[in-house]
Amino acid sequence: MAPKRSFGVLKTRAASTLCVTHALAVLLGAALFLVFAAVLLPGEGGGFGSGLGFGARSLSSSSSLRTGLDALSRPAPLDATGGPRVPATVSQGWVLGDVAYTMPDFEAPLVFEAYVENATDFYLYAQGTLVLFSGSTAPDLDVKACRAGGDSMVMAARWNNVFHCKSHRPLVKGEPLTLLYANETAEGGVSPVESKVVHNGVVDVSSVGSPKFYTCASTQVKNTEYLADWLAYHRRIGVDHFYLYDNSANGTVAAEMDPQRDDTDVLHWPWRKSQQQANSHIATLGRARCHWMLFSDVDEFVFVKGRTGKKSTPLRVLLAQREAAGKQQVSLYRLEIGSSGVIHKSNASLAETYTKRRKGKGLWLNYKSAVLLKDAIPYSRVHFFDLRVKPLGFNWAFIAQWDEMQLMPEWDWFKVWDPRGHIVHYSTKSWSEYIAKYSGDLNGMIPNIGFERFNYTVDKPPSFWPAFGGVFRDTAFRDYKRRVNKRPVPAPMVVIT
């Protein structure tokens, strides 16, 4: 007769078996992760994967552009004198946004800027009801064609008041550029849209073999209130050059920048409802000057976490990793930071002032992206770009590519709390700034919370204000930014394409 086993012995053996099984499961999971990371996250020299027999896919040394991590170790190209070759600045020939007329109402159709590429391709940037937009009460016009001088031109594509035109002849300096819309009462059935644009003779040509900054960033800004901190931080994480679209009425951003630096171009862009046009403009203008372009606002900071975040230029490394994996766009979901109960504007930085957000669901309301300009269709959606993945009709490009884009690893990874990156968005800020911005509810995007009805004033915020945007304390980015601010500003990285 077999001896009876006590309950304690059985419990101990069951626990031992469970521990062994758990350990095996952990080891198997770790092995699968290493294989996954080796395939999708190419390692840096001496970095993750390199010491384990895994690493980046080999890249041809004969390629005209060394992509991904290989590009990071490539020295800047030199000119005939031995000095570094850098892209031409916008200021050399490009003077944009000089306004010598009264700004029309934002619904009034107006062609306000043009970009001419390769002599016969030109882009027209407009405001008003040429394309219906949120908050508009007027019907959009039925735009039929482009016009250069007295000639009608083909309209190849349109999106968000950006029109791509094809000329059947070289454009002539000084001739007016505009659009034609359907008008049954007009002679010929079409009328021109009011335009302030004439061809200034400057033609931008994307040349093969020209130097480009590896990482650029573009933003539209009306004042310099938070600009210096935003620029200094993003310089340190790997942005090589900045394009600032000055949305102030009088072009004051450049004058107020202190100090002015060679790594920043300021383009006056004072028109209303024009952020998407500005992004589309730099997506075209920047092709000859930038390899990657980050699109971000000055209250949004790229937060690169994990092992990559410890590098001296973490954003540059992150983009290089994705490029080496064959990706054309990286989208970072925004981490929304709330009011933190602040009443009056602080002189401290945004990261030091605001440290509270929502917890759990609703962390990410949207995202911002960095895109390889050579692969981007130059019509911005503000938060991302359609890619030149397939020769599709533009209006259906995004819908047709959606399934394919969903298969891209970064789209999946950035939908969860990803250790590699976020856009930290200080959307609310102090009560005094919030009430100044939204008390009139002019843009139709923020629900009017009844400033006048409830007698809210600058010194009398609503009772819910301390909890507005969340109460969960999160100082991770603040502490990270403190460490980044101690780093030296790296030299810009230039590549040849």
Q: Where are the domains of the chain?
A: 110-192, 211-428+468-496
Name the nearest CA neighbour of 116 among 162, 150, 160, 164. Answer: 164
Q: Which pLDDT score, from 0 to 100, does residue 36 have? A: 38
Are 137 and 124 spatial neighbours (Cβ–Cβ below 8 Å)? no
pTM given for the model: 0.79
125 beta partners? 113, 162
Distance, CA of 207 to CA of 85 (rounded, Å) = 14
Work out whether the CA dihedral 155, 156, 159, 164 comes out positive or negative.
Answer: negative
- Return all residues near 241 (Cβ < 8 A) that are at least 6 apart: 87, 213, 215, 216, 217, 263, 264, 265, 289, 290, 492
Structure token pair of residue 394: 């533009």
Distance, CA of 440 to CA of 137 (rounded, Å) = 18
Tens digit of pLDDT at every position of the chain (497 positions): 544 444 444 344 544 544 545 555 545 544 544 433 433 333 333 333 222 222 232 223 334 455 667 777 776 778 788 877 888 777 655 666 667 777 777 788 999 999 998 878 899 999 887 865 555 556 678 899 999 999 999 999 888 889 999 999 999 999 999 999 988 888 888 999 999 999 988 888 766 678 899 999 999 999 899 999 999 999 999 999 999 999 888 888 888 887 678 899 999 898 888 888 999 999 988 988 999 999 999 999 999 988 888 899 999 999 998 888 777 888 887 888 999 999 999 899 999 999 998 876 445 557 788 888 888 888 767 677 777 664 333 334 444 555 555 555 444 433 433 446 788 999 889 998 888 777 654 443 344 455 555 667 778 888 889 999 889 999 999 999 999 999 999 988 988 87
Structure token pair of residue 165: 């035109």
